[in-house]
Amino acid sequence: MRRFKFKSSQRLKSQTDFNSVFQYGVKFDRELLTAKFISHPSESHENYLQAAFIVSKKLFRKAVQRNRIRRLMREAFRLHYSDYPQIKGKILLIYKKKNIPEYPQICKELLGILDDIIKLKLHENPK
């Protein structure tokens, strides 16, 4: 049985990491989510995908609603990131709609973004 964990080391936490992803990251737009992704350098020893989940306070005033959306995004990521072991880097997932989504919608959007990242990586260095 596979274990699906989202460890503390897989969370994107530092301000410098956030700034570098915002400044240099590649943007992937979907209906519900926008993602900014930056890959680790090839000589880096970090062999996993670090993620952060952002929900704007302007869109959702109540913390309960923001936390609910973050939990949905984190759960979808936790269950599906192990299906994409070739993605290594840092990703920011930003929710941009004004309504609270259902879990299948978030999963569909996240899988689409991860597929787009794979396509980008294949396009950058075809083998």
What CATH number does residue 34 fall under?
A: 3.30.230.10
The per-residue pLDDT of the chain, averaged, comes to: 88
Whether residue 2 lies inside any domain: the answer is no
pLDDT, position 53: 95
pLDDT, position 127: 55
Cα–Cα distance measured from residue 80 to residue 74, given in angstroms and rounded to the nearest whole number: 10
pLDDT tens for each residue of 29-61: 999 999 999 987 655 556 778 999 999 999 999
Whether residue 28 lies inside any domain: the answer is yes
The total number of structural domains in the chain stands at: 1
The answer on pLDDT for 64 being more than 90 is yes
Confidence of residue 1 (pLDDT cuts 50, 70, 90): low
Surface-to-core class of residue 117, CB atoms within 10 Å of its CB (0-12 exposed, 13-18 middle, 19+ buried): buried
Give the tokens for residue 3. 């274990």
Whether residue 1 lies inside any domain: the answer is no
**pTM, rounded to two decimals:** 0.87
Cα–Cα distance measured from residue 79 to residue 5, given in angstroms and rounded to the nearest whole number: 8
The range of the structural domain enclosing residue 28 comes to 11-121
Whether residue 80 lies inside any domain: the answer is yes
Confidence of residue 126 (pLDDT cuts 50, 70, 90): low
Place of tokens 């737009």: 29
Whether residue 50 lies inside any domain: the answer is yes
Give the single-character DSSP code of 110: H
pLDDT, position 41: 62
Percent of the chain with pLDDT over 70: 89
Q: Using DSSP, how many helices (H) and how many strands (E) does the chain show?
A: 3, 4
